[in-house]
Structure 1
């Protein structure tokens, strides 16, 4: 069938890949011209971390998210499978125990284990959780690479409106007129250049007020994030948030004190009231939305569900019935 996809963020590109892989004729339309700094996918952490998400997310997020790393790798993305290290400062050690009770698929590391995994952290931490099955990727390189591979496979990309055939809307918060339950959850993130820091896998620092994650991008570059504020505001990072995130990074490793602050980014993630994504049919347009903080983790599963819905298979697990 002919399918037009609105939006070229992580959701739109995943749906395009799934449909093209099933032999459908796909056009992706986005006035911005493609993935880039205008969307929240550009500012994602890129952690494929279903076990860590189990601390607060529903079971379906964990279960569906466990297939994400294999899906991305099959699409040609560079997926790094070194797990996630979870630590807490001495005054917050209880947070680490609480995290362990609410998650699974991990093992404890003592100081010697931390020294083997991430030597720079061994002086400051004597216990950690290692979520060994988790992975991460570089969102920007992944989005741009997927777009190029899809174009090479015949997927058409345009900046002009184009609603030929079936339509799949993956425009995030821009779809609020059709999906009034959508809300924005603001996230503020930073990119640091810290050649003195040698972390090789994502590290989560637990804190009761501002938990932090740091994701290595290679060549001494790290993504640092992220706040989670109930707001649809998309353009302004607050001084308070920047200071708290940088303070947390410095507490994790004082070598971050010498880092170069390369970028500060902010955007609003689209979320429904239950923080779960949905596939919804409204007037013949299929909406794939509400990925919240699980964009790269759940977009592959949502893309498969959207393809199955278009092909007339059974209603997908995260189908949302619209009632006028």
Structure 2
């Protein structure tokens, strides 16, 4: 039996990877021939930061996110294990205290330790938090590597569903699946990519702010990804002037050299989310829906993929699966 997966974003590729690694025959259907800006996961930060995300997320995000780091390393080999540095301006020191209280896995660092971790930030910050067990990856590289490895295993990719209709399909179309999942909503995230050779960072840096927290993820060669907003909207492809201004202002506060950076790219997309911001598996006859990764696409897609494969093989109802099919 061939299992057909609809959608080749991070969810579809993760499920295909898990199933094919277990020896199942898999085919993917996506209207686009390769990963690209049409996919929500293309615009992700790629931070594998379960401890940091726990500050505002439910417990499963931390638990499954920790396992995701090894999954991505095993299936792509492109994970950087350099941790996460969390900082705040002096006037916002209370934000750092709150963040520390709501998360674990961190070490308090002073100005000297910050300078040792990130020399270009030396002398600019006097206190922060370092999460040594977190990691990050380049989403675009990771998606392309998953697809490359799947093709090498003989997994077929189709632009349109071929005949005949398979006995079982998995719907991983993201927000496009609202035609079947009416409780799915969009949460827009906006980001930009800068080139700033004057700044060198070895790991993601989060700058806490009461209004718009910033994260900066190094991509190498003086290129950085800045993001990201969380706006209750399904409007895609539009970066607002206000968000652009706030992201750039926060980057300038992190290091003034970002004020002279070259803006290479801006992007926005709507993340699919359910009301509680946790993913779901739903079985309806011959179709298994996998959706609702919210802002945790790279953290939670391995767990959802594993649960989907376990369900198909054993019939069990895993943690993220609705008990009653609709």
TM-score, structure 2 normalization: 0.98
**1:213–1:224 contact (8 Å) kept in structure 2:** yes
Q: Distance in 2 between matches of 1:98 and 1:4?
A: 45
Q: Distance in 1 between matches of 2:47 and 2:157?
A: 27
Partner of residue 281 from structure 1, selected from 271, 280, 283: 283
Which residue does 1:61 correspond to in 2? Answer: 61
Summarize deviations over 1:63-103 as a string: whole Å, max 9, x none.
01101111011113310001000000111100000000000
The answer to whether the aligner puts 1:44 opposite 2:38 as a matched pair is: no
**1:81–1:135 contact (8 Å) kept in structure 2:** yes
Question: For 1:248-287, what aligned pairs fall within 5 Å after superposition?
Answer: 248-287=250-289
Q: What is the CA distance between 1:161 and its match in structure 2?
A: 1.5
Q: What is the CA distance between 1:283 and its match in structure 2?
A: 2.8
Partner of residue 317 from structure 2, selected from 315, 318, 321: 315
Which residue does 1:3 correspond to in 2? Answer: 3
Which residue does 2:35 correspond to in 1? Answer: 35
Distance 1:84 1:256, change over 3 A: same
Q: Cα RMSD between the aligned structures?
A: 1.0
Which residue does 1:112 correspond to in 2? Answer: 112
Which residue does 2:138 correspond to in 1? Answer: 138
**1:203–1:213 contact (8 Å) kept in structure 2:** yes
**1:191–1:224 contact (8 Å) kept in structure 2:** yes
Summarize deviations over 1:146-168 as a string: whole Å, max 9, x none.
10111001111110124423100
Q: What is the CA distance between 1:111 and its match in structure 2?
A: 0.7
**2:282–2:325 contact (8 Å) kept in structure 1:** no
**1:282–1:322 contact (8 Å) kept in structure 2:** no
Secondary structure at 1:27 match in 2: strand
Q: What is the CA distance between 1:323 and its match in structure 2?
A: 5.6
Number of residue pairs matched? Answer: 324
Which residue does 1:18 correspond to in 2? Answer: 18
The answer to whether the aligner puts 1:247 opposite 2:249 as a matched pair is: yes
Which of 2-11 and 281-290 deviates more? 281-290
Q: Distance in 1 between matches of 2:35 and 2:171?
A: 15
What runs of 5+ residues in structure 2 fail to find an aligned partner? none
Q: Distance in 2 between matches of 1:125 and 1:49?
A: 21
The answer to whether the aligner puts 1:91 opposite 2:91 as a matched pair is: yes
Partner of residue 206 from structure 1, selected from 205, 208, 217: 208
Distance 1:212 1:314, change over 3 A: same
Which residue does 2:167 correspond to in 1? Answer: 165
Q: Distance in 2 between matches of 1:284 and 1:180?
A: 19
Partner of residue 192 from structure 1, selected from 191, 194, 217: 194
TM-score, structure 1 normalization: 0.98
Q: Distance in 2 between matches of 1:75 and 1:103?
A: 28
Which residue does 2:81 correspond to in 1? Answer: 81
Which residue does 1:220 correspond to in 2? Answer: 222
Question: For 1:146-161, what aligned pairs fall within 5 Å after superposition?
Answer: 146-161=146-161
Secondary structure at 1:75 match in 2: helix
Summarize deviations over 1:159-211 as a string: whole Å, max 9, x none.
01244231001100000011100000001000111111101100000001000
What runs of 5+ residues in structure 1 fail to find an aligned partner? none
**1:281–1:321 contact (8 Å) kept in structure 2:** no
Which of 40-49 and 73-82 deviates more? 73-82
Distance 1:155 1:323, change over 3 A: closer
Q: Distance in 2 between matches of 1:253 and 1:146?
A: 35
Q: Distance in 2 between matches of 1:107 and 1:182?
A: 37
